[in-house]
Amino acid sequence: MNETILTEIKNSDEQKLVPLLNYCQSKLGYIPKEAFETISEKINIPLSQAYSVATFFTDFFLKPIGKHKIEICNGTSCYVRGSEKIFDHLSRKLNIAEDETTEDRLFTLKKVRCIGCCSLSPAMRIDDEVYGRVSSEKAEKIIEKIRQKEEKKNTIQ
């Protein structure tokens, strides 16, 4: 998988750093060391520059993340409506802190400011799905459902 993506990056017309990093992350979920090397070589910039740009942003992961990315929106509207409580609750339930991944590698928990769903705050996003007007319990149930689905998949396999 990694090799294919690296070749794609090499052959792409794109010459700008951030779009290449974004592409890599969209395919792999994170940016491995080899991708940094490929990109910096391709667009002829020092490896340190690629690394400093990637670490400047909050969205780039340098380590593999869980199968599902849970993003608790912590924008102003969500915060005013209690998003911290929801984050704390999930953090306790999943037994992970911010930006950490569960042991079974199913979930990564992240705070995000913001997903623009302020009118239905507090909101959260899991992968591409946005959930509005969540509560601690509602959020927990959604995650539980995903976990059950994954477990079902595993038993079938």
Partner 1 sequence: MELKKRSEVISRLTEPEELITLRNKLKEKEIYENHIRVCCGTPCRSSGSLNLLNKFREEIKQQGLNEKIEIKQTGCVGFCQGGPVVVVDLPEQKNIYYQHVSIENVPTIISSVRNKEIIDDLLYVDPETQERIVSLDDIPFFAKQKRIVLRFHGKIDPTDITDYIKLGGYKALPKALLEMSPEEIINEVKDSNLRGRGGAGFPTGIKWEFTRKAEGKKKYIICNFDEGDPGAFMNRSEMEGNPHQPIEGMIIGAYAIGASKGYIYTRSEYPLAYNTLQNAIDQAKSLGLLGKNILGSNFNFNIEPFKSAGAFVCGEETALIQVIEGKPGEPRPRPPFPANKGLWGKPTNINNVGTWANIPLIIQNGSSWFSNIGTNRSGGTKVFSLAGETKNTGDVEVPFGTTLREVIFDIGGGVVEGKFKAVQTGGPSGGVIPEQYIDTPIDYESLEGLGSIMGSGGMIVMSDHTCMIDTAHYFLEFAHTESCGKCVPCREGIQEMLSILDDIRKGKKRDLNLLNELAEYVKETSLCALGQTAPNPVLTTLKYFKDEYIEHMEEKKCRAGICKNLISFHITDACECCGQCAEVCPQECIEEGEEKYNINQEKCIKCGLCQERCPYDAIEVI
Cα separation, 35 vs 64, in Å, equals 13
C-alpha 23: how far from chain center = 14
Tokens of 15: 């010459």
For the CB of residue 147, give the shortest distance to partner 1 in the complex, in Å. 18
Q: Does 29 bind partner 1 (CB under 8 A)?
A: no
Q: Which is nearer to partner 1, 88 or 151 (CB)?
A: 88
CA gap 90, 97 in Å, rounded: 9
Q: Does residue 91 touch partner 1 according to CB under 8 A? A: no
User: Could you say which of 32, 102, 131, 147 contacts partner 1 (CB under 8 A)?
Assistant: 131
Binder to partner 1 among 36, 38, 69, 75 (CB under 8 A)?
75
Task: Show the site string, 138-157: x = touches partner 1 by CB under 8 A, - = not.
Answer: --------------------
As a whole number of angstroms, the distance between CA 125 and CA 75 comes to 13
Which residue, among 130, 126, 128, has the nearest Cα to 144 in the 3D structure? 126
Per-position b or e across 65-80, b if 16+ CB within 10 A of its CB:
bbbbbbbbbbbebbbe
Q: Which of 29, 62, 82, 142 binds partner 1 (CB under 8 A)?
A: 82
Can you give the length of the chain in residues? 157
Q: How far apart are CA 32 and CA 43, in angstroms?
A: 17
> Of 62-70, 88-96, 97-105, 142-150, which part binds partner 1 (CB under 8 A)?
88-96
Stretch that binds partner 1, among 62-70, 97-105, 127-135, 145-153 (CB under 8 A): 127-135
User: Which residues of this chain interact with partner 1, rule CB under 8 A?
Assistant: 8, 12-14, 16-19, 21-23, 26, 43, 45, 49, 52-53, 56-60, 74-77, 79-82, 85, 88-89, 92, 112-121, 123, 128-132, 135-137
